[in-house]
Amino acid sequence: MAIRDYRPRRRARGSISRPQELLMYGVLLVAVALQISYPLINGETLRLATIAIVYWSAGAMALHALFIYGWSYFWRLLLITLSLSYIFEAIGSKTGWPFGNYSYDVSLGYQFFGVPLVVPFAWLMMAHPALIVSRRMTQHWVFLYGGLSLMAWDFSLDPQMVADNRWRWEFTGRSVPFEPNIPLSNAFGWLLTGMALIAILHLALPRERRKATNNSVVNIFLGWTLFSTIVGNLFFFDRPGVALLSGISMSALFLPYFVAISMGRND
């Protein structure tokens, strides 16, 4: 009888551990649960939930960046996104350029020179997915695809936050379609700053993954964002115009990505 060496099965080389995977999905699940509760609550509970949604969503994306792309990608993503977005917001709220004249309400929590600390984390929760989508969909126009993605996402974010008095605008010119309380300059500002941020991230962050797993957490987050934007504005917030504008904008950018990953390697 032949004697065979016994080697216990090992986790696939380069894949993340089960606890890491569960942690990513768990944090994302909390973020989604908070968003589901959003139209059902009000007052102080709503205010705290608004802040918590940003931190939990950003946390899920940051964990994905760390576990899948490694420490170098993670720290560069945080440093660049949080610092640049704060600079954009500080300049914008003080000078009115490039977004327009706006100011933040104290309900968003502690502010540093007029910018709530939670705001840069809102940029983080979308910058990482936008970069992944843009790199997947184009080779030479990553900055443009990413900038458009961030602008499309804000078509839904801004109306909700303005309706909840988290920030307010002062303007007399043209407004965003279907949203008379938000200046058209805000869309231009998001496109401009979004392109700048994604361009820098694309240059500074490694493209190759450190771990052999897919981007399911990011894909679920993007799919949920698109779905909740349309359903929320149609059935809970009575803003069919916002659902139309943000839904079409995000669909035009995210649906081709979903089609692409369904037809090929999920990276």
Per-residue pLDDT of the chain (267 residues), as tens digits, is 444 444 444 444 467 899 999 999 999 999 999 999 999 999 999 999 999 999 999 999 999 999 999 999 999 999 999 999 999 999 999 999 999 999 999 999 999 989 999 999 999 999 999 999 999 999 999 999 999 999 999 999 999 999 999 999 999 999 999 999 999 999 999 999 999 999 999 999 998 776 656 799 999 999 999 999 999 999 999 999 999 999 999 999 999 999 999 987 545
My answer on whether omega of the bond before 98 falls inside 30° of 0, hence cis, is yes
58 in a structural domain: yes
pLDDT at 16: 86
Q: Cβ atoms within 10 A of the Cβ of 84, count?
A: 18
Q: Would you say 72 and 135 are in contact if contact means Cβ atoms under 8 Å apart?
A: no
Tokens matching residue 79: 């440093």
Distance of alpha carbon 237 from alpha carbon 211, whole angstroms: 40
Tell whether 2 is covered by a domain.
no
What per-residue confidence (pLDDT) applies to 86? Answer: 98
Residue 148 domain flag: yes
What pLDDT is recorded for position 4? 47
| Number of Cβ within a 10 Å radius of residue 91 | 15
Residue 94 Cα distances to 34, 84, 98, 104, angstroms:
32, 15, 11, 11
CA angle, 74 then 63 then 224, to 5°: 120
Report the candidate in 244, 252, 217 with the shortest Cα–Cα distance to residue 32: 217
Predicted pLDDT at 210: 67
In a domain, 51, yes or no: yes
Position 169 in a domain: yes
Q: Is residue 11 in a domain?
A: no
State both tokens at 84. 């640049």
Cβ atoms within 10 Å, residue 92: 20
Domain count of the chain?
Answer: 1
Domain annotation covers residue 3: no
- Determine the Cα–Cα distance for residues 127 and 64; give it in Å rounded to an integer: 13
In a domain, 104, yes or no: yes
Residue 185 is encoded by which pair of tokens? 């300059």
pLDDT of the residue at 195: 98
Q: Hey, what's the torsion of the CAs at 22, 24, 27, 31, to 10 degrees?
A: -130
| 73, two tokens | 């990608």
pTM for the complete prediction? 0.92
Its sign, for the CA torsion 123, 124, 129, 135, is positive
Spatial distance between the Cα atoms of 264 and 150, rounded to a whole number of angstroms: 25
Domain that holds residue 118: 18-263
Beta strand spans in 12-133 (E): 101-104, 111-112, 115-116
